[in-house]
Amino acid sequence: MSYFYSIFGGPASNESWGWRYEGQHISLSWTSIDGAEISNTPALYGANPREFLDDAYKGTRILKDEEDFGKALNNNLTS
């Protein structure tokens, strides 16, 4: 498994900057403006890969029920 840290801008108490922690099942981002944390989104708690494309697990979808529910909900929303 690989995990990554990214920094956007330069950490400072009087400037805007942000950072992200990301890996196989998580992606979290933070933004700071003038030294105050104002946001810790977007956030993902999920699975990557969402579907296995080969080997003995081919076709297996991680979080299948949750993904299908979310897509059905989204497709049934009206303007």
pTM over the 0.75 mark:
no
Cβ contacts of residue 55 below 8 Å, gap of 6+? none
Q: Are 66 and 37 in the same domain?
A: no
Closest C-alpha among 17, 21, 20 to residue 37? 17
Show the domain range for 72: 50-79
Q: Are 41 and 60 in the same domain?
A: no
Q: Are 54 and 40 in the same domain?
A: no
For residue range 14-58, list pLDDT tens digits in order: 889 999 988 877 888 899 988 887 877 777 777 767 889 999 999
Q: Are 35 and 63 in the same domain?
A: no
Q: Are 7 and 22 in the same domain?
A: yes
- Number of structural domains (the chain) is 2
Check residue 5 and give its pLDDT.
Answer: 93
Q: Are 31 and 54 in the same domain?
A: no
Q: Are 25 and 11 in contact (CB under 8 A)?
A: no
For residue range 44-53, list pLDDT tens digits in order: 777 767 889 9
Name the residue with tokens 């494309």.
53
Determine if residue 63 is left, alpha or beta; phi over 0 gives left, psi from -120 to 50 gives alpha, anything else beta.
left
